[in-house]
Amino acid sequence: MNRVAGLEGASTEPGELPGPRTVRGRVLGQLVVCEGCCCGQASKGHAPVPSTELKREWKERKLARAIHLTVSGCLGPCDVANVCAIVSRDGVTWIGGIKSAEPYRLLMDWAEASRAAGWLLPLPEALEGHRFARFDVVSILPDEPS
């Protein structure tokens, strides 16, 4: 028996996390748009993030149920501001170096096309130059003594 508030009566097996295992609707992914300490900050030489327009259009195009839009604080890789992350069951795709509103518009169009397709389409060719690897493959093992 689960003693977590709101989950009374729910049973969990040892090693399982309590709580619901499914979500309502079919969410394809999430677009996280950074507007943190660097992204969108003109004082640091970065283009504005059109977050108000993004949120408005996301709502007008009814994209939220298919792809969640989150405007976030710093995602970490400030050196490639402006940054977005696309999160899906396949992992995270990072986009950076956005210097105008156009890539954001492309992401909106891509999200709408993906919703219509029912799966996340490949990103537009024009965004390929913005993709970057957030984490390099590095060894975390200590050097072997020589």
Positions in the binding site for ligand FES (CB under 6 A): 34, 36-39, 74-78, 81, 83
Is the CB of 34 or the CB of 66 nearer to ligand FES?
A: 34
CB of 139 to ligand FES, least distance (A): 25
Shortest Cβ contact with ligand FES: which residue?
A: 36
Tokens standing for residue 79? 């050196």
Q: CB–CB of 108/57 below 8 Å?
A: yes
CB of 84 to ligand FES, least distance (A): 9
Is the CB of 28 or the CB of 95 nearer to ligand FES?
A: 95
Is the CB of 39 or the CB of 54 nearer to ligand FES?
A: 39
The closest alpha carbon to 31, from 9, 8, 61, belongs to 61
CB of 75 to ligand FES, least distance (A): 4
| Type of residue numbered 126 | A
Is the CB of 77 or the CB of 103 nearer to ligand FES?
A: 77
The closest alpha carbon to 97, from 29, 54, 45, belongs to 45
Is the CB of 29 or the CB of 77 nearer to ligand FES?
A: 77
CB of 100 to ligand FES, least distance (A): 16
For 96, residues 6+ apart whose C-beta sits below 8 A from its C-beta are 77, 80, 81, 82, 83, 84, 130, 132
Tokens standing for residue 142? 């200590």
CB of 130 to ligand FES, least distance (A): 13
DSSP string, 101-123: SHHHHHHHHHHHHHHHHTS-PPP
